Amino acid sequence: MRPASFYHAGHASWGVVNGDVIFDAGAVLFRTLPTLKSLLATQSFSALPSALRKAPRLALNDIKWLLVIPAPGKILCVGVNYEEHRQETGRAVVAYPTLFARYASSQTGHLHDILRPKSSVELDFEGELAVIIGHAGHYIQGRDAIAHIAGFACYNDVTVRDFQRHTSQFTPRQKF
């Protein structure tokens, strides 16, 4: 299943991509499951088969992609997450991963333009794997973690490299 959030005909919705169409499940389930996030949080997957049979089919060319989860509770990232990049940045080997936050307002949907701040000359991309957490948990054991994952998505983590070197902290960013 390839779920997605999108904008069409003046409203945001969500659905399931199949080939070159998206089944607008949000148009059918808007009262009980208005967003993909609500579907994942409640794990109401049993509502999908019937909704998808009734859902309008929209051409992918007719929609504007939104973030997979347009209003995420949080976005946590792991920095310097492979050895070649650690060496490239000259950072020391550490015992724990470098974590930093991203914010929903700094994200863009699939096929949207990315804007470089005028004060930067070193905009860089990093192809990443996003792990989408489907439902909350607390003190989750490693062996149980996979049950909380709703899915995965490609993620373009754009970094303003010249700003990144201003501090040892990853979170401070210029607003775009």
> In 58-151, which residue ranges form alpha helices assigned H by DSSP?
83-89
**What's the confidence (pLDDT) of residue 172?**
52
Instruction: Report how far residue 45's alpha carbon sits from residue 25's, in angstroms, rounded to the nearest whole number.
Output: 11
| 95 alpha carbon, distance to own chain's centre | 27
Q: Please state whether the predicted TM-score (pTM) of the whole model is above 0.85.
A: no
Q: Report which residue type is found at 106.
A: S
pLDDT tens digits, residue range 111-168?
A: 998 888 888 888 888 788 899 998 888 999 999 999 999 989 888 888 888 877 676 6
The strand pairing partners of 128, in sequence order, are: 155
pLDDT tens digits, residue range 2-16?
A: 999 999 999 999 999
Instruction: Report how far residue 28's alpha carbon sits from residue 56's, in angstroms, rounded to the nearest whole number.
Output: 8
In 3D, which of 10, 11, 14 has the Cα closest to residue 24?
14
Domain boundaries, the chain: 2-65, 75-164
pLDDT-based confidence at residue 1 (cuts at 50, 70, 90) = confident
Residue of 76 and 162 predicted with greater confidence: 76
**What's the confidence (pLDDT) of residue 127?**
81
Q: Report which residue type is found at 108.
A: T
Classified by CATH at the fold level, domain 75-164 comes out as Fumarylacetoacetate hydrolase; domain 2 (3.90.850)
> In the chain, which residue ranges form alpha helices assigned H by DSSP?
25-29, 36-42, 48-54, 83-89, 161-164
Q: Is there a contact between 36 and 1 (Cβ–Cβ < 8 Å)? A: no
**Across 12-36, average pLDDT:** 97
